[in-house]
Amino acid sequence: MAEERAGSTAPESAPAAPAAPAAPVAPAAPAEQGPLQADTTDSASEGYYSDADSDLTSLASSVTNYVYENGRRYHAYRAGKYVLPNDETEKDRLDLVHHLFTLVLRGALHLAPIKNPQTVLDMGTGTGIWALDMADLYPSATVIGNDLSPIQPQFIAQNTQFVVEDFEEEWAYPENKFDYIHGRTLLGAVKDWPDLFAQAYKHLKPGGYLEMQEGAVWAWSDDGSLKDDSPIMTFLSLLGSESEKMGRPMNVIDKLETWMKEAGFVDVELKVFKVPWSPWPKDRHLKEVGKFQFANMMQSIDSYGLALLTRSAGYSEQEAKIFLAVVRNQIRSKALHCYNKIYCVYGRKPEKPTESEKE
C-alpha cells in the first residue's frame, strides 16, 4: 500500500486513506442525555480553537529500555501488543484523562456500589493515578495496579502496589481475591474481552464488582455538524478497521455490557455520558468538560493513530502525521459540535455459585 502511494505529493486536506474504510458504524448503545445545545454567545473560549498542540508537551523521556517509533516511545515488555505510546507526553495525557473522567463522573472514582473494599485491582493502570486516588479514598484497602509498562511513580502510598504484568495472561492471583476490579480506557488493548471478564469473575470474591470505564473511540453530533465523510470520521473508521485487523478492536464499546452479563455478572448497569470535544456547549459543566477533552483530543489523535496508521494501514510516518494534523484541524473548527461518550459498565459476581460453577 505504502509503495503505491510513494510518488504522490503530500495532501492538502485529508489524504486518501490506503483502503477506504467501510461506512462508519456507530456504536449502538443508548445515550442518557438529550441533544446538546451549542453556546452561540461564548467568546471566552476562543483560545481553545487555536493551536494547542504544545499545551501538554513535556521533555522527551530519558528512559532507554523501550521501543521508539515515529518519534514516540512504546512499551518493550511484550513489545507491539499495545499500540499507544508510554512516553512522558502520553503520561501527561493519561493524567489529564483521569481528570476528565472524574470531572464527568462529578468526582466519583467508581460507580459500582462498593462499600469499604479491602482488595482492589486496576487492570492496565497506566500512570497509576486512579489506583493512587483509590488507595487514598479507601486507606484500609490494598490497591494493586498492573501494566505492561513500568511508568508508575516509585514513591507511593503503602497501600498501593504496582506490578509489570500482562492482564491477558493467566492471572497468578488466588481465586476469589478481589472485592473490586477496575479497568479504564482499555479499548484497543484487549484481544479477547470475554476471556478478560471471565478472569475477572474468577478472581473476584462472591459479591465483588467488576467496573469498566471506557471512552467510545467514536464521535457524534446532534446538529449534523460532523459529516460522515469528514477527516474525523475517516480517522475513526480507520482506527476501527485497523485495530480489528491487528486483533485488538477499538470499536467494541457497545458490546461490553453483553460480555459482562455473559461472563456471569448480575445486576449489570450501563451509564453513558456525552463528552464534547471542545467548549462549544451552552451547559457550564459540559463546557468545562469540553476544555479538557479538547486538550486530550489534540494529543489522543497521535496516541491512537500513529502506530496503527504506520504499522497496519500502510502510511509512511510523514503521511500519517499530515493526516493526523488534518484531523486535529477539523477538531479546532468552532462550527463543529461533536462529542463522544463515556460508558461506565459494572456488574456483581453473584454471592452464591451458579449451578455450573458448583459442578
- 121 beta partners: 144, 181
Window of 120-128, 203-211, 214-222, 326-334 that interacts with ligand SAM by CB under 6 A: 120-128
Among 117, 124, 249, 347, binds ligand SAM (CB under 6 A): 124
By CB under 6 A, residue 82 contacts ligand SAM? yes
DSSP character string of 248-315: --S--GGGHHHHHHHTT-EEEEEEEEEEESSS-BSSHHHHHHHHHHHHHHHHHHHHHHHHHHHHTS--
Among the listed residues 236, 148, 150, the one whose alpha carbon sits nearest the alpha carbon of residue 189: 148
Which residues between 86 and 115 bind ligand SAM (CB under 6 A)?
86, 94, 97-98
Which residues between 296 and 355 bind ligand SAM (CB under 6 A)?
none
Window of 42-50, 142-150, 266-274, 322-330 that interacts with ligand SAM by CB under 6 A: 142-150
Nearer to ligand SAM, 162 or 323 (CB): 162
Nearer to ligand SAM, 94 or 286 (CB): 94
Which residues between 184 and 203 bind ligand SAM (CB under 6 A)?
184-186, 189
Cα separation, 14 vs 327, in Å, equals: 7
For residue 353, how many other CB atoms are within 10 A of its CB? 12
Contact predicate 268/61, CB 8 Å? no
Nearer to ligand SAM, 70 or 230 (CB): 70
Nearer to ligand SAM, 213 or 234 (CB): 213
Query: What beta strand segments (E) does the chain contain?
Result: 67-69, 72-74, 119-123, 142-147, 160-164, 178-184, 204-215, 220-221, 266-276, 338-348
Which residues between 153 and 172 bind ligand SAM (CB under 6 A)?
166-168
Interacting residues toward ligand SAM by CB under 6 A: 75, 81-82, 84, 86, 94, 97-98, 124-126, 129-130, 146-149, 166-168, 184-186, 189
